[in-house]
């Protein structure tokens, strides 16, 4: 069941969830929200959207008020001319929190979203109660050679891609991001590729490339040692995007009371391990299943 939104490819939210728009200084942000209880904010990764959490959200909403933004530049939110840097996204999340009237909240982030949540806690500790960082970016010490080569080959002088991403994405998403082929992989890939070919494709490319370059330039492990709140790190044993070695590097720089959980999967754990991830999250937040 699909509700075609601004980009023509938005899914209907899960049962019991609603869609709202929040007027930020950077344009309208699409928010999906539902449930009741303490606030839990879910932050998607690079190129993703609130849809990344649609399998896990109903389970989490049994105990929490769940708020899932489409970050500006992605999903059904506006895609303004902006830097799309890590610091810029953190400012966006702060503004979102202020406009929603939220104080200290629990945060769960996936991939780039995990990096944003960790740095939000390091830089603004008063805003974060607890963090769950799933396959978080930022654990690289320096860019692996393959990523440096990929950046030089794919990204041109003005931050635009040199080639059409349609065919590479069909291979990249199943083999690298998911590490498997399934109906989830197929549906995700179709939506993702359709967005790149849609009317906002060039805007999505701009935000994707700029955000990716900023992630490459922002190793988080030197900064996370200042985090004071409880942290649960979740890694996939077969993650080829943000490897378990990178997540373990983050863990070594966090306070001793942090937890590290490894699930047998790839990078897209919110899709492939939604129930397992939700149960671990609720346990960590004090709601044993």
Q: What is the pLDDT of residues 110-162, one digit of tens each?
A: 999 999 999 999 999 999 999 999 999 999 887 666 666 666 656 666 666 65
Strands 128-134 and 105-110: parallel
Share of the chain above pLDDT 70, in %: 85
pLDDT at 118: 98
Quote the CA–CA distance of 231 and 116 in Å, as a whole number. 13
Quote the CA–CA distance of 286 and 284 in Å, as a whole number. 5
Helices (H) and strands (E) in the chain, counts: 10, 8
Share of the chain above pLDDT 90, in %: 67
Highest mean pLDDT among 173-182, 184-193, 238-247: 238-247
What tens digit of pLDDT does each residue of 229-260 get?
999 999 999 999 999 999 999 999 998 889 99
* pLDDT (average), residues 191-201: 85
Taking the CA atoms of 243, 68, 126 and 260 in sequence, report the sign of the dihedral they define.
negative
pLDDT at 139: 94
Residue 181 has pLDDT above 50, yes or no: yes
In the CATH scheme, what is the code of domain 17-284? 3.40.50.1820
pLDDT at 167: 59
DSSP 154-180: HB-TTS-BSS--HHHHHHHIIIIIISS
* pLDDT (average), residues 196-216: 88
Q: Where are the domains of the chain?
A: 17-284
Residues in the chain, how many? 289
Quote the CA–CA distance of 218 and 207 in Å, as a whole number. 16
More confident residue, 42 or 197: 42
Question: SS3 letters for 18-83?
Answer: EEEEEEECCEEEEEEEEECCCEEEEECCCCCCHHHHCCCHHHHCCCCEEEEECCCCCCCCCCCCCC
DSSP 118-142: HHHHHH-GGGEEEEEEES-S---SS
Residue 287 has pLDDT above 90, yes or no: no
Start-to-end Cα distance in the chain: 30
What tens digit of pLDDT does each residue of 26-44 get?
899 999 999 999 999 999 9
Residue 206 has pLDDT above 60, yes or no: yes
- The DSSP symbol for 176 reads I
Closest alpha carbon to 14 in 31, 29, 30, 34: 34
Query: Mean pLDDT, the chain, as a whole number?
Result: 88
DSSP 240-266: SSS-HHHHHHHHHTS-TT-EEEEESS-
Rounded to a whole number, what is the largest CA-CA distance in the chain? Answer: 51
* pLDDT (average), residues 211-223: 91
What tens digit of pLDDT does each residue of 59-83 get?
999 999 999 999 999 999 999 999 9
Distance of CA 1 to the CA centre of its chain: 23
pLDDT at 152: 62
Quote the CA–CA distance of 283 and 281 in Å, as a whole number. 5
Query: pLDDT band at residue 5, thresholds of 50, 70 and 90?
Result: very low
């Amino acid at each position: 069941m699909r509700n075609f939104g601004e980009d023509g490819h938005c899914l209907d939210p899960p049962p019991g969830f609603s869609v709202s728009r929040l007027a930020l200084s950077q344009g309208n942000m699409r928010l999906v929200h539902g449930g009741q209880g303490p606030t839990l904010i879910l932050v998607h990764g690079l190129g993703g959207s609130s849809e990344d959490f649609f399998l896990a959200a109903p389970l989490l909403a049994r105990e929490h008020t769940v708020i899932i933004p489409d970050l500006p530049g992605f999903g059904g939110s506006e895609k303004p001319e902006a830097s799309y840097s890590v610091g810029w996204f953190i400012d966006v999340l702060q503004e979102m929190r202020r406009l929603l009237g939220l104080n200290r909240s629990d945060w769960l982030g996936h991939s780039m979203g995990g990096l944003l949540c960790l740095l939000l806690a390091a830089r603004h500790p008063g805003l974060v109660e607890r963090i769950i960082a799933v396959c978080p970016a930022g654990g690289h010490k320096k860019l692996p050679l393959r990523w440096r080569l990929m950046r030089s080959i794919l990204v041109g002088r003005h931050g635009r891609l040199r080639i059409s991403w349609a065919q590479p994405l069909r291979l990249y998403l199943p083999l690298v991001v998911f590490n498997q082929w399934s109906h989830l992989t197929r549906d995700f890939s179709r939506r993702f590729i359709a967005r790149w070919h849609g009317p906002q494709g060039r805007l999505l490319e701009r935000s994707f490339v700029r955000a990716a370059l900023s992630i490459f330039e922002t190793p988080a492990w030197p900064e996370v040692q200042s985090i004071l709140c409880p942290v649960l790190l979740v890694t996939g044993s077969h993650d080829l995007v943000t490897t378990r070695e990178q997540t373990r590097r983050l863990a070594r720089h966090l306070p001793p009371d942090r937890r590290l959980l490894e699930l047998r999967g790839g990078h897209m754990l919110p899709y492939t391990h939604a129930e397992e991830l939700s149960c671990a999250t609720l346990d960590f937040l004090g709601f044993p299943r």
